[in-house]
Structure 1
């Protein structure tokens, strides 16, 4: 899972690196796109969570035919929903990014990138949900290989299309989006072939309305709250980006680089958030609550230690990293400041992410959604806004850390309380069953 997540995140990092070589305005433009692109990605992640949970249940029960129909319906649903979101996004590029605080001179650059990226987002839906089907069937290796191929294609095509190598026209920031679109299109073809032909994990046909509706309802029961929870993150990022934009294009560029580095720095947490749920779901079904608690606590302890090590590495190498992504000294200084402060809270953020995925695994997606709402809208936005108001950009960075402290405490308490209630209810149910016998 770590390998697969790294490959997914390299799309953003590679694009950011090559675009940074063009200029500060281009880097600022692609930084503004992060909240919007992550909204589409979050929808795909949520649908993948719902797909994996429901298909895993059917496969575990030996009902392969229902699993195949649901896999087909899931991919159809993801393509439809992401397609609708992308069409809306395409026709609202100007208004949305203006509301986010993008300066007028950046809008044409943003349009060049996003007008292509929205098409790429539709292609992304297919491999992301398709990979969830593979993971539900017990295969975590193939999804990593598929994303590795996509990452490699993107990395190869980026400099060719951005700078006009090998006789191709120099397309600038638009070239980065085209490279991503081609990479995900190739991944889409491969995953459909694997699922429909080689593995026979989905139907090689378009479902009728009744079949599609039944599959969609099953996926959306868990997938919709999970998608909503994930989509809150880019919405929050858009608000914070607007605050950062008040400090100028250099600050937005540094903030964008920091966010993309955060994705890589948190890669182990994200991988655990996708590998822990199947373990919890299995033990939840078997009423093995002690194992759920033990696995959750083990992951929390590991993530805290791991992310402290990552923080130390980022802090010590902050100036070197900044020099890679920034040509201007002002941008490099802000990237350095970001890396000296914000990563301190990544371990605490990991607690929230793992708690969220654990609640989804226990078929409690609404609790996960509320936890995300509290973290982002009760903690993150207010605290970072106050930090910015009182202490400037550095105060905003420290606000990110403090918000994660508060959210982590809420997560730990909520999980402990919930698992205790579930255990008590299970004991009552077992007692009632014994009495009835």
Structure 2
């Protein structure tokens, strides 16, 4: 059933995929590097500080996945409108996604400013971790509004095959964040040594600059299809809003429940002890760097799938979907080998006990073993199914895997059996195997093609 092309890299679809995937992957590498730099610099202060910043990043992660859900939903529409060259609809979709993102930012910012200790206390019972984590969370709260614009507008730019703009602004943001981290965490060049609070200030300022720069680049010369006036971007009808919400709801629910599942995992690790949580945070800082290529290619998969459907070439969309799955499996295996090769090296950069470094290395090796499954799943769920408008099936599959398998096994192995953290992580990762079986059946059925425009 799958395409028998012996030279897939010569195929035009792979060239188009690379043009989108490369800047998206580089942007996500920058974003992950920003998190890695934060964790690495804070790691020079100790494991309590690592745990505190890790919790702060987990709360922001929960919020960004709400934005990713909104952005992904808009990307489904925008990529299909892009196939039809319907620029007016691209602008109103862009405006709607920004408004929804800003609306979602308000409660997160408010709670982070008013009750930061209670939020951090969900993840840890260590008083010092709670104190430092609350300082971090309350400072970065203001940046949630900036991220609402950046994440939603970046997704729109990718969906119209202008992925270079988000990449540029992220590169500037990383450079600024790294410099400010160095100045404010350690007190260089006459600045005060603020530790965790310094990292929070650096992150907030960098996100603000990123937001402003992205807006300037999009509206420079008004040649960008998404650069509309206020009236153009808010001119969506009630019928369009209804259609958007119908498609977006499964995506947003998908992202929220997935994020809540990831949060539950962190709660389990935190309840196992500060050392367990710190080892997971170190491992994830490394693993996120390895995952960026898959994020890029799955995003490109969604854009090109939606574009084909928008053009009315449904058979072409199905044919490309089969090619994307082949690519996903090869990509997963290659990245797994690279990740495994560096599993014992990167954790050495952290100023923590050798036992934590060893635990983090084992977790990275386990992550590597499951990477081919993860790659297949992200290309299926985020790429093919969402790009094809099959958002409900994608949501059910994701939620069932995380909560029906991952969360259950996390509580059994981590809380009830009290197994070592790396064994708990291995059991949690079994969800990827279950999801891959379900996704393969759906891809083969070819029932995921839906024209939403």
Tell which deviates more after alignment, 306-315 or 75-84.
306-315
1:202 counterpart = 2:230: no
Distance in 2 (CA, whole Å) between partners of 1:87 and 1:218 is 30
1:42 counterpart = 2:65: yes
TM-score, length of structure 1 as denominator length: 0.88
Task: Give 3-state SS (helix, strand or coil) of 1:167's partner.
Answer: coil
Q: Which residue of 1 aligns with 2:103?
A: 80
Q: What is the aligned counterpart of 1:365 among 391, 411, 434?
A: 391
Distance in 2 (CA, whole Å) between partners of 1:36 and 1:382 is 22
Q: Which residue of 2 aligns with 1:353?
A: 378
Distance in 2 (CA, whole Å) between partners of 1:140 and 1:187 is 15
Offset at residue 108 of structure 1 (A) = 1.0
1:184 counterpart = 2:207: yes
Q: Which residue of 2 aligns with 1:300?
A: 325
Distance in 2 (CA, whole Å) between partners of 1:249 and 1:323 is 19
Q: Which residue of 1 aligns with 2:127?
A: 104
User: Structure 1 295/251 Cα, relative in aligned 2: closer, same or farther at 3 Å?
Assistant: same
User: Structure 1 251/310 Cα, relative in aligned 2: closer, same or farther at 3 Å?
Assistant: same
Q: Which residue of 2 aligns with 1:7?
A: 30
Q: Which residue of 2 aligns with 1:434?
A: none
Q: What is the aligned counterpart of 2:429 among 390, 401, 413?
A: 401
CA contact (8 A) 1:69 1:202 kept: no
Q: Which residue of 1 aligns with 2:176?
A: 153
1:322 counterpart = 2:350: no
Distance in 1 (CA, whole Å) between partners of 2:317 and 2:220 is 36
Q: Give the structure with the higher percent helix.
A: 1
Q: What is the aligned counterpart of 1:162 among 185, 209, 215?
A: 185
User: Structure 1 233/257 Cα, relative in aligned 2: closer, same or farther at 3 Å?
Assistant: farther
Offset at residue 21 of structure 1 (A) = 0.8
User: Structure 1 374/367 Cα, relative in aligned 2: closer, same or farther at 3 Å?
Assistant: same
CA contact (8 A) 1:222 1:360 kept: no
Q: What is the aligned counterpart of 1:385 among 405, 411, 422?
A: 411
Tell which deviates more after alignment, 129-138 or 2-11.
129-138
Distance in 1 (CA, whole Å) between partners of 2:287 and 2:359 is 15
User: Structure 1 300/69 Cα, relative in aligned 2: closer, same or farther at 3 Å?
Assistant: closer
Tell which deviates more after alignment, 383-392 or 177-186.
383-392
Task: Give 3-state SS (helix, strand or coil) of 1:255's partner.
Answer: helix
Aligned residues: 423
Gap regions ≥5 residues in structure 2: 1-23
- Report Cα offsets for 1:164-205 as digits up to 9, x if no partner: 111111111111121111111112112222334433533343
Aligned CA RMSD, in angstroms, stands at: 2.6
Distance in 2 (CA, whole Å) between partners of 1:176 and 1:104 is 20
Q: What is the aligned counterpart of 2:74 among 51, 64, 81?
A: 51
